[in-house]
Amino acid sequence: MKIFITGSNGLLGQKIVDFCLKNSIEFIATSKGGNRNSKCPADNYCELDITNNEDVSVLIVKEKPTHVVHTAAITNVDFCELNPKESELVNVTATKYLVDASNEVQAHFQFISTDFVFDGTKGNYSENDEVNPLSEYARSKVKSEQITMETAKFGWSIIRTIIVYGVGENLSRSNLIMWAKGAIEKGDAINIIDDQFRAPTFADDLAAGCLGVILNNENGVFHISGPETMSIYEIVERIAKHFNYSMEKVNKISSSTLNQPAHRPPKTGFDLSKAYEKINYKPHTLEETLDLLF
């Protein structure tokens, strides 16, 4: 087995690298620009911009992986809304390049997707629920899911996940839990929405889920998230309670007051039965991960 990772400088990419190192799985890590993860050995790293079709094909054919784990994406939902061409290029066209190259070496292709493929009217989504994307980002993920399902010829998996959090090195963006913990610890005044519901996902659990699907020789769509769905406000409230911080300066607001360019689904969260049953997925609770992180 040899895993080819895209987006290895990102939060999930770094955790996939960690998992491979800990479990002695052969891998090649790739990302845009230089290696920003000191835990990833230089010999395992290759710079790769996934929007360059020629480079994607040459590197995958040279490395001959058995599995491609595609985590790289533009993950800023509002940026995608305002820059649909760039979103299409990185989040859709590049997926096609990667699937084509995976087919050349007969590799399984794994695509990382999102809860945002759903419209958020139902909640507790299972893998069989109908998608109905509300934003450019979400539509780009649905298109790439279709490319994966329809054109990956040697096995495929789609891992959908929700608000990913954890610690990484030199990340280009922060994540909700790390940011909120820092802000309430300092006593900053912050506005937090109470009308969107999510199941926050510990990045280490997500990496174990992605590789669990591969190690168990599974194919198909898998929902991998944290075990509990709650409002964003409740996430912050539980962090405050855990560390005995005051909620005095945390203002509860409605998402309509934010005027964000991209529409977000009000209530997601996943039914994790398939992951529990097929890959023995064991996610940590929010409080357990706070003890591991701080």
Ligand X SMILES: NC(=O)c1ccc[n+]([C@@H]2O[C@H](COP(=O)([O-])OP(=O)(O)OC[C@H]3O[C@@H](n4cnc5c(N)ncnc54)[C@H](OP(=O)(O)O)[C@@H]3O)[C@@H](O)[C@H]2O)c1
Which residues make up the interface to ligand X (CB under 6 A)?
6-7, 9-13, 31-33, 48-51, 71-75, 90, 112, 114, 161-164, 171-173
Looking up tokens 């087919």 gives 103
Contacts of 174 (CB under 8 A, 6+ apart): none
CB-nearer residue toward ligand X: 148 or 161: 161
What's the full length of the chain, in residues? Answer: 294
Kindly tell me which of 55 and 249 has the beta carbon lying closer to ligand X.
55
Q: Are 3 and 60 in contact (CB under 8 A)?
A: no
Q: Which is nearer to ligand X, 16 or 279 (CB)?
A: 16
Q: Taking the complex as a whole, how short is the minimal distance between the CB of residue 117 and ligand X, in angstroms?
A: 10
Contact 183, 240 (CB under 8 A): no
Cα-only R_g, the chain = 19
Least CB distance to ligand X at residue 190 (A)? 18
* Least separation in angstroms between CB 244 and ligand X: 27
CB of 34 to ligand X, least distance (A): 9
Instruction: Give the residue with the Cβ less far from ligand X, 182 or 246.
Output: 182
Taking the complex as a whole, how short is the minimal distance between the CB of residue 225 and ligand X, in angstroms? 9
Residue 132, judged by CB atoms within 10 A of its CB (0-12, 13-18, 19+), counts as middle
In the bound state with ligand X, the residue whose beta carbon lies nearer, of 3 and 163, is: 163
Of the chain, the end-to-end C-alpha distance in Å amounts to 34
Smaller CB separation from ligand X, 171 or 247: 171
- Residue closest to ligand X, measured at CB: 10
Comparing CB distances to ligand X, the nearer of 112 and 192 is: 112
Nearest approach in angstroms of CB 173 to ligand X is 6
- Between the alpha carbon of residue 233 and those of residues 18, 45, 125, 162, 286, the distances in Å are 31, 39, 21, 16, 14
Q: How far is the CB of 142 from ligand X (least distance, A)?
A: 12
